[in-house]
Amino acid sequence: MITVSVSAKDKSEHMEQKDKNTIWRETIALMEKATVNVNEKDRAAYEQKIMQKLKSGRKLTSDEMEYLRVYQPELYRSACRVENARKVLKTKLKSCKSKQEVQNVISVQQEYLKALDGTDKEYMTAMVQRECQEFKKTSEYARLPETTKQEKRREKKIVFGGESGDEEAGYDRNRVALLGYSQIQCDTITQMAQAFTA
């Protein structure tokens, strides 16, 4: 009796597995039919649209990337390289502390582009130009000082309260005030300890 129930269980698992396989086959067949029904003229127009976006340095949508992955694997790899480079470039630009650093990042990127060849070079060049132009339009870029030295001066003014041309004097005043405050705290603690022990 036990063997009969086990074999019945095995049969039901086998049927479930067969049903899953059948469902997957039918789903894949439907997907293939859907892509076959797209006429060649529409596919060519869609691919042309994707190529124009790549050549102009614009970001591709997830649907466009998926289309390339399925129908144009070589172009998909190029698009992936461009998107990865875009992410790296954006990160580098956002971490810059001055407009001079932004220009240095752009110069390094342009030197890298000179070393590339093939279609990637065209797509990468367009992407770098577009991202740099977009970044320079942001308020984040507008707030950056011209040079790193100006950034350091600005930070020093904020931290030490110095006025323009008076950074060192501001630093000295604050240092003296801090030392005086520390001395007052030490004296207060000493008096409290003496009162407690007395």
Q: What integer is the mean pLDDT of 35-57?
A: 82
Q: What is the pLDDT of residue 52?
A: 94
CA distances from 182 to 45, 175, 176, 179, 187 (A): 74, 11, 10, 5, 9
3-state helix, strand, coil in the chain (%, to 5): 85, 0, 15
Q: What is the pLDDT of residue 94?
A: 92
Does the pLDDT at position 36 exceed 60?
no
pLDDT confidence of 4, banded at 50, 70, 90? very low
- Annotated domain spans of the chain: 38-144, 150-197
CA-to-CA distance for 142 and 130, rounded, in angstroms? 17
Q: Which of 93, 198, 77, 101 is nearest to 149 (CA)?
A: 101
Query: What value, to the nearest 5°, has the Cα angle with vertex 80 and ends 78 and 83?
Result: 110
Q: What is the phi/psi pair of residue 144, to 5°?
A: -70, 140
Q: What is the pLDDT of residue 91?
A: 93
CA-to-CA distance for 14 and 191, rounded, in angstroms? 86
Q: Where is pLDDT greater, at 72 or 181?
A: 72
CA-to-CA distance for 154 and 146, rounded, in angstroms? 12
User: Are 90 and 102 spatial neighbours (Cβ–Cβ below 8 Å)?
Assistant: no
CA-to-CA distance for 61 and 74, rounded, in angstroms? 17
User: Are 97 and 116 spatial neighbours (Cβ–Cβ below 8 Å)?
Assistant: no
Q: Which of 52, 151, 45 is nearest to 98 (CA)?
A: 151
Q: What is the pLDDT of residue 169?
A: 47
Quote the pTM value: 0.57
Angle between helices 148-160 and 167-197 in degrees, nearest 10: 30
Angle between helices 73-94 and 40-56 in degrees, nearest 10: 30
